[in-house]
Copies of this chain bind each other. A is one copy, B any other.
Amino acid sequence: MDTFKIDDVAKESGLTKRTIRYYEEIGVLFPPERSEGGMRLYTRKHIERLSQIVNARDVLGFSLMEIQDFVAIREKMDEQKQVYWKTEAAEEKLSQLREMKVMVDKQMEMVDQKLSKMAEFRKEIEYMQKRINDGITKMST
């Protein structure tokens, strides 16, 4: 039994059920299978994906719309795996790979930009720490 009901997923991910359904609704979480009665049956993959989404949202500060692109690439990666090596499909596969390369390269650029800006920020804070510490030692003598 490797499927989860929405409440289990909510507990593991720390998100609310509403949020999980919402992420499916706007297309950042791929839809799970359904039970006979219509209940969502999630897999480990869904939980992993949610974790990635939360990271992108909270850490990188991406909006859910920006995360769409991000997610689309992961989707294509998985898709690529499924495609058998057929000579007829080779051409199409190659063009898809090139397309993905462009997107991933762009993402890398964004992340590197954020990283360098963050480093600047860190330096500023470090400087403030230094000034405060100097002030404290100087005064408490």
Please give the residue numbers on chain A whose beta carbons come within 8 Å of chain B beta carbons, in ascending order.
55-56, 58-62, 73, 77, 80, 90, 93-94, 97-98, 100-101, 104-105, 107-108, 111-112, 114-115, 117-122, 125-126, 128-129, 131-133, 135-136, 139-140
B111:A55 contact, CB within 8 angstroms: no
Tell me the nearest residue of chain B to A74, going by C-beta.
B128
A128:B73 contact, CB within 8 angstroms: yes
A107:B136 contact, CB within 8 angstroms: no
Extra pairs beyond A97-B135, A111-B118 (6, CB < 8 Å): A97-B132, A104-B128, A105-B129, A108-B126, A111-B121, A111-B125
A122:B126 contact, CB within 8 angstroms: no
